[in-house]
Structure 1
Amino acid sequence: MSFFKKLFSSPKPEQPKRTNLEFENLPVEQVFVKKFVENQGKFLYCTSLAEVTENIANIIKENSWEEIVCNDYDLQKLIKSVKVKTSEKLNNKKPLFVSCEHLIAENGSILFSSNQLKDSKISELSENFIVYATTSQLVKTKGESLAGIKTRYKGNIPSNISAIKRFNPSSKDDDFMSYGNTNSKNLYLLLFEDL
């Protein structure tokens, strides 16, 4: 803009900055659940480990699954009493019972890394996920989740960091930035209250 236009033009009224009222007015837990459910995720809140186990058994029964994949030793303890075969080898045929790195409130997504998925891409895995997470894993933004990973793992940051944001494999994503991304999963989230 030239000097004279700047001098003689009337000042434009300052636009108010847009803020995300959801983050200002609601706790992070409520924002996450709202976004997660909007993205068609299935949410089960658990206050005890017995409730977690009961919900896993109900999910397996509801879907008539005979075998699930679980490569996490701590999670295997949770499903020991559930009548289902388990294997540790990740594949695209059997439902996956897995933990995660973080639950991201701003978009209702779930962040994973090589600690959970090894070297498999999300798109290469089963369309059925059961995710175990705790309330202490909730963060507001993607930036906070990545900073949390950096802090937690210091000099040994995991690879294969990726997220699932859509929870209906048959839904279409109109966002051109997601073209070809097949990370949509039929996902059950077991959120355990640990705070």
Structure 2
Amino acid sequence: MRDLIFYTNPMSRGRIARWMLEEIAAPYETRLVDWTAKPDEFLAANPMAKVPTIVHNGQVVTETGAIIAYIAEAFPQAGLAPTAAERAADYRWMFFAAGPLEAATTNRSLGVDPTAEQQGMVGYGSLDRVVTALKSAVTASTYIAGDRFTAADVYVGSHISWGLQFGALPQSEDFDVYLARITGRPAAVRAREIDDALIASAGS
């Protein structure tokens, strides 16, 4: 058994965690989770029965953003954790993606559009405000936390890519330019190839 176990499904947010795992170039064991027959050891690790979930040296980490941040800190040799100078932007946009961005794009996908009266209650206000803030994040510097690629780019970039793919975010040159910087990374390409192959094998 490896020290790092990765519970995932290739048609899930597990793709984000896969990218991060490929970035650190450390050995890990993938355990695929079927939507209808979830293994007991997975349910024991994560009673929410959601993927991705990792178990590292016996410690369970759930929630995709937390997994990305944890891996960055647990494997410092990969150089993906923020420096002191990068930490403010890193924390800001990681939590922004996990909170306002996730909520706004999910609501849009579900056809939920808060009224002007409701916008003060939902936290993110409106999708337009979220998009404006997100554009400021991808244009303020080369990468999310500054001038180098960090774990925050894996997480925020994945949210942007998915939002564009499924129509929850509007097309934008700012987003396209930013994604062009990060999605061609060797680890990102490997991760997509692994998960795409798993999807293809399941359908054959």
Instruction: Give TM-score scaled by structure 1 length.
Output: 0.31
- Greater CA radius of gyration, 1 or 2? 1
**Greater share of helix:** 2
Higher strand share: 1
